[in-house]
């Protein structure tokens, strides 16, 4: 075999390998293009927002009260705090509050120190020191009231039981999900109406929803009893008429965003 024939054979195989290589690369490119087109379809879309509101009268109230007692020993402080807490709980239960609506938020025992000044002479005073003077026992109870007409009476009752610290009263809707659903439905209807109007103005039609997002605002409105807000003592209102506590209304707002594919 002469040199010219050898060169021709080598060139033929090189050409075959080059064709195979180019074919493989082309197939891979086509597959990749097909994959990308499936993952990232290009749609003509419009996005609209909707807002809905639902108003309801709160049907539950929540407040908390705390008892703190100090004594020389932990046992003595616990005994004093327990007696007062038990008296308050008995009054709460007598007021119609169910056991499931009463829970402890916190219980703590802390040493109580007092600063003692060191002896003083004509040249000055020596440094003082912290001296253990006893222990503080604190317990905080949260109460949920379902009969709102009794909320004011319960405040008065706690004062009669010797409770001096009652935190702010807040109102809420027990079945908040139903109110949220009403607000959301109104927001969706508003967004849909907007989308249909825009599609009509553009001369296109809505095909399907490609994305949806919603959010709701259902924060309760707090009410603070004057005695609590000013750091007063509920014992001072023991003999007064139980206060009337209006709960007002609670508004839930839903905001939705909807994206439609159009043709």
CA–CA gap between residue 211 and residue 225 (Å, rounded): 46
Condensed to tens digits (0 to 9), the pLDDT of residues 111-136 reads 988 877 767 776 767 667 778 889 99
CA–CA gap between residue 260 and residue 204 (Å, rounded): 11
Condensed to tens digits (0 to 9), the pLDDT of residues 141-190 reads 999 988 887 777 887 788 777 788 888 778 888 888 888 889 999 999 99
CA–CA gap between residue 101 and residue 57 (Å, rounded): 20
Q: Tokens 């009476």 appear where?
A: 153
Is residue 244 scored above 60 in pLDDT? no
Whether the model clears a pTM of 0.95, i.e. scores above it, the answer is: no
pLDDT at residue 76, as a whole number? 93
Choose among 207, 180, 185: nearest CA to 195.
207
What values do phi and psi take at 168, rounded to 5?
Answer: -55, 145
**DSSP string of 203-244?**
T--EEEEEEEEEEEE----EE--HHHHTT--GGGGTTSPPPP
Mean pLDDT lowest among 52-66, 136-150, 207-221 = 207-221
How far from chain centre, in Å, is Cα 28? 50
CATH 3.30.70.2970 fits 60-173+225-247, yes or no: yes
């Amino acid at each position: 075999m002469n040199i010219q024939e050898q060169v021709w054979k080598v060139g033929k195989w090189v050409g075959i390998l080059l064709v195979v290589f180019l074919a493989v690369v082309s197939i891979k490119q086509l597959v990749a293009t097909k994959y990308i087109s499936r993952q990232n379809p290009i749609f003509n879309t419009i996005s609209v927002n909707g807002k809905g509101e639902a108003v309801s009268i709160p049907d539950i109230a929540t407040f908390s009260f705390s008892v703190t007692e100090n004594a020389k020993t932990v046992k003595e402080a616990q005994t004093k705090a327990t007696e007062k807490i038990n008296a308050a709980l008995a009054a709460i239960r007598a007021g119609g509050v169910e056991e499931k609506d009463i829970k402890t938020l916190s219980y703590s025992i802390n040493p109580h120190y007092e600063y003692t000044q060191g002896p003083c002479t004509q040249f000055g005073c020596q440094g003082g020191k912290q001296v253990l003077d006893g222990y503080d026992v604190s317990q905080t109870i949260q109460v949920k009231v379902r009969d709102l007409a009794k909320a004011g009476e319960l405040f008065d009752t706690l004062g009669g039981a010797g409770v001096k610290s009652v935190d702010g009263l807040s109102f809420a809707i027990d079945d908040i999900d139903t109110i949220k659903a009403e607000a959301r439905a109104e927001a969706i209807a508003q967004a849909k109406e907007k989308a249909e109007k825009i599609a009509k103005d553009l001369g296109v039609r809505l095909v399907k929803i490609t994305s949806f997002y919603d959010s709701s605002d259902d924060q309760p409105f707090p009410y603070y009893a004057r005695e609590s807000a000013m750091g007063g003592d509920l014992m001072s209102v023991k003999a007064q008429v139980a206060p009337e506590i209006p709960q007002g209304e609670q508004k839930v707002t839903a905001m939705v965003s909807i994206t439609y594919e159009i043709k």
